[in-house]
Structure 1
Amino acid sequence: MTSPPTRPAIRAEGLTKRFGKKQALNGVDLEAAPGTVLGSSARTARARPPR
């Protein structure tokens, strides 16, 4: 027997992000089921490399 489909806990469609004239994201879709762990990592403009 299969489980009934569940609605996503998170859904985002068509995300965009600009930094001045620089397009960082364009039309990103994201969906996560309940109980899913998401993480994101990106170097920011303020981040410094280790010395």
Structure 2
Amino acid sequence: MIAKENGLWTVQVESAYAVDWITNRLQAPLKRSLKQQGLDVEIQFVAKEPSK
């Protein structure tokens, strides 16, 4: 996790492909699990910046 602000969690992942895959397949189950634990948050996945 790279940021946690005002109910928005920003999670950095390795690539744009990973962002797409996680968002489409895991985001909903993750949000449900977090909500069951009393955490009503939004989750945003972002791709890691390429090394220069």
The structure with more helix, counted as a fraction of residues? 2
Give the strand-richer structure, 1 or 2: 1
* Bigger Rg over Cα: 1
User: TM exceeds 0.5?
Assistant: no
Name the TM tier (shorter chain): under 0.3
